[in-house]
Amino acid sequence: MSRFWSPVVHNLTPYVPGEQPRMTNLIKLNTNESPYGPSPKALAAIRAATDDTLRLYPDPSALALRQAIGRAHDVPAGHVFVGNGSDEVLAHTFQALLKHDGPLLFPDISYSFYPVYCGLYGITAQMVPLDADMRVNVADYLRPCGGVIVPNPNAPTGMALSLTHIETLLTHHRDQVVVVDEAYVDFGGETAIPLTARHDNLLVVRTLSKSSALAGLRVGYAVGHPDLIEALTRVKDSFNSYPLDRLAQVGAIAAIEDREWLANIRERIIRSRDRLTHSLGEMGFEVLPSCANFVFAHHPGHDALTLARTLRERAIIVRHFRTPRIAQWLRITIGTEAECQALCDALADITAT
């Protein structure tokens, strides 16, 4: 504690990101990064942009990128907001659209940045428990509130809501913003972006970090009614008018436009996820049905933290959360086929003892 801190800092509990260790021969299955590289077209676009124009500021409106996103989702560019990763987009969303008199509703087991944003911006949070099957029960959200945010698919469980469920939320909360965080939707969920055409209270947040394998480039975006987009833009331009540099903008455009590459990588990850789920089940793990690029699993006969530590000794890192209700679960990113096989071989050896 320092006497120089602003009062708000004393009460903050910052978000703890997934570990980025420096270990040799590491199998890294803890932060839901893609096991495959970005689109070659994205890499070529980034290389081509490393020229004399880097002395100039990037387009503060990122118009070309917003147009590319609009074409991909069949929406006008004016319905698209972009930011420095979906985390920044979410941060602006909390400040611009979710700070109201009523409580903000979100799942008790979910993206752990949500309560951090609430603490930072002074938003009253009301966490809604997942049901006994670790699912979001939409009926539990049909109560008075200042707004709703749900990841779809949810993290770390990986389970998804149907668009019928999302529309139930939107219809019930016509006077509140409903944010759908779709970081993992490309791996088996159904995007809610088409619903923005008839629901002016819906904001859909996406990222290029997962399915487009651009976690290091930091590009996120939101799609919604222009009134919602204007609120985000006002906050952005009061904070940082240039959140996306030139390399990020051109790389993101090329990645978005390379739909064949995206489809191929997505299918490879889904196939690997299905095989890993089957293999874990054969070893006695309970694995939740996942629509993401990870699985959430626990073994009734083995402590999750001990499993994570033992795997780490073998240079395999998975994510363990020391959180009530999920302390006996592991979140495992889908790696390459070879990485998944190495994980299974290690777990088979560990759980056999």
Residues 195-245: tens digit of each pLDDT: 999 999 999 999 999 999 999 999 999 999 999 999 999 999 999 999 999
Cβ neighbours of residue 285 under 8 Å, at least 6 residues apart? 297, 298, 299, 347
Residue 6 located in a structural domain: no
Residue 60 located in a structural domain: yes
Going by the DSSP 8-state scheme, the letter that residue 230 receives in this structure is: H
Phi-psi sector, 32: left (phi>0), alpha (psi -120 to 50), beta: left
Q: Which of 36, 69, 54, 115 is nearest to 333 (CA)?
A: 36
Q: Which of 256, 273, 292 is the last residue of a domain?
A: 256
Same domain, 216 and 340: no
102 SS3 class: coil
Same domain, 132 and 166: yes
What average pLDDT does the structure give for the chain? 96
Residue 8 located in a structural domain: no
Residue 295 located in a structural domain: yes
Domain count, the chain: 2
Same domain, 128 and 151: yes
Handedness of CA 113, 119, 121, 127 (dihedral sign): positive
Residue 3 located in a structural domain: no
Same domain, 25 and 65: no
pLDDT of residue 332: 98
CATH value at residue 283: 3.90.1150.10
pLDDT of residue 11: 85
Same domain, 122 and 235: yes
Residue 24 located in a structural domain: yes
Same domain, 219 and 306: no
75 SS3 class: coil
Same domain, 343 and 250: no
pLDDT tens for residues 325-352?
999 999 999 999 999 999 999 999 999 8
Quick one: tokens of 324?
Answer: 């009530």
Q: Which of 256, 285, 313 is the last residue of a domain?
A: 256
The domain of 47 spans 39-256
Q: Which of 256, 278, 307 is the last residue of a domain?
A: 256
Residue 10 located in a structural domain: no
Can you tell me the distance from the alpha carbon of 213 to that of 265, in angstroms, rounded to the nearest whole number? 9
Same domain, 114 and 184: yes
Same domain, 109 and 155: yes
pTM here is 0.96
Q: What percent of the chain has pLDDT over 90?
A: 92
CATH value at residue 242: 3.40.640.10
pLDDT of residue 168: 98
Residue 11 located in a structural domain: no
Same domain, 91 and 154: yes
pLDDT tens for residues 86-142?
999 999 999 999 999 999 999 999 999 999 999 999 999 999 999 999 999 999 999
Same domain, 119 and 250: yes
Neighbours of 19 (CB within 10 A): 12
Same domain, 115 and 67: yes
Residue 99 sits at φ, ψ, to 5 deg, of: -100, 95
pLDDT of residue 196: 98
